[in-house]
Every structure is written in C-alpha cells, then in structure tokens.
Structure 1
C-alpha cells in the first residue's frame, strides 16, 4: 500500500515506478528455425519489452521484418507459461541426428537466468514447447511491418541452407 502511494508521489516527474515483482521477472526470448526437407517455416523471433519481433524468411504467409505488440492477457499468458518451465533443468541440446527435421535454436532469459537451447520440437520438454508454440503463433497475427535491423543471436547455429529432397534409397 505504501509502495503505491510513494510511486504516485514520485511519478510526477522524478521516477517511473514499476512493480517490485516485475523488475526481476522480465522475459527475453529469441528463437531461430532451420530449414528442413520440405516447407518448414524459416524465421527468427525475439520477445522483448512486451513485443515480438519477427524476421519471416521463407515458407511463412509473408516475408520481412515485423513487430507484434502483446496485449495484457497475452503478456499474462506468457508469464504463466514461463513459470511452468524448469529453466535450470533444460538441456543445452535436445536433439538427435535426424537429417530431415527442423531444428530450433533459442535463448531464454528469465529471473537473471539465461539458457541457450538447440532442439527439435518432439525432443523439447512439453512445458518449453508450449511456451515456444505460444510465441510463434503470433507470426500469423496482425503484424506491423518495420524497417529496423534486428540482430538475432540464435541464427548462428541454424544457418539458412537450401535443402533439396533427399535421394531415394537404392534397393
């Protein structure tokens, strides 16, 4: 109660107040997807400051750089999903060598913890996959085109290579 009163007094120009709980609970997330032997959506996405930035590269509804501003209920859903993830127990690599599947490289920062994870959808923990799916679903929402250059650190482990259809086995 006293905190709100103090914030109200200070917000008239001296300081911007935020909830004590929210200062250490911001979520930063970045993900890049690889190509596959097919039409897997190739993209980069970055969640930062209540917005998701997309670089839609190939096999998406549109191409280019876009932004999606999260609504309050979507930010709350992200917070709920992130609290279900045991960040410390996430493996750095949840993959097996399967040449025709899509790989995803991601970086998750939450509560002063940072984790880089390379994974295949079927190999990631369910709680992490739900979070990833929720973020990526916004690529088909009301996006606003931007011309800002955005650096995606996750792209380095999943380069964009043209992948042809694998040859038929010799029998």
Structure 2
C-alpha cells in the first residue's frame, strides 16, 4: 500500500541509536487512485491489518493528508492538526457565507441548499478525472459523496450564523 522510510535518532550521524521511527509517506495506491485518502474508500479486510482498519474506521475527508508514525505496536496520527484542511474549510465557509449574503438568504436550510448546489463543481472535476485520467468510477463516486456531505454540512453550519 505505501512505502515506509526509517529514520533513527542518532547522537552522531555515523551511528544510529535508539528505536527506529517509521513514517508512511505515500498516498493511496488502490487501482490507480491518485488521492490522499490512504485507502479509506477502498477498505478490504484482506488487504489492511487491524491497525489500519481501526485508524481509518472513522469518516475522514479524502483530502486529509498527514503522516502516520508508528509508536509501539499501534499506528497513531501526528500530534498537531493539519492546517491545510482547516484553511480549505475556512475558505469554503467564507465562499458559502458570501453567496448567502449576496443572495439575501439566511438560515441553515438555505445554507444547506446552497452547499448542495455547489457540489456541481466537484462533480464536474471528478467526471473529468474519470474520463481523462482513468480514475475508477467507484473511487470518484466515493469522493463525490464526500464532497456532497462536506459542502452540505458547511453550508448548513454557515447558514446558522448568517
């Protein structure tokens, strides 16, 4: 699934000491998937050990990047949140808020409907991925579902404050 790089904490550069720290640094490689979903949308009990199924068992956005590090026998996420994901969500919320104000709409229902209407943009991009890049339809459908949920929820939450 992914390649690992081993780094040693060393007192001198010539001689490694201490336990190795393993970082998984590759994105999803499932049947040509080029997204950073780490196999969440392609789980198969025969391919993923229990640690990965537990790690990926909760809903994760397809664009959620992050290195995994091995601590003991279990995999854990890094200690700090991914700032890229937060910035993208804030930009999306500002876009939805601006469109709600420009359209003179208010309330979570209006925000959710606007978010649902805005899912046309990711659907067009994912259709291009299927047609021109050969991404499997199941993978694109899973990512499209993720965008539908994400934009609808962001629209509803933003609409509550407008």
Specify if TM > 0.5.
no
Give the TM interval when normalised to the shorter protein: under 0.3
| Higher RCO by CA contacts (8 Å cutoff, separation 6 or greater) | 1
TM-score (norm 2): 0.23
TM-score (norm 1): 0.22
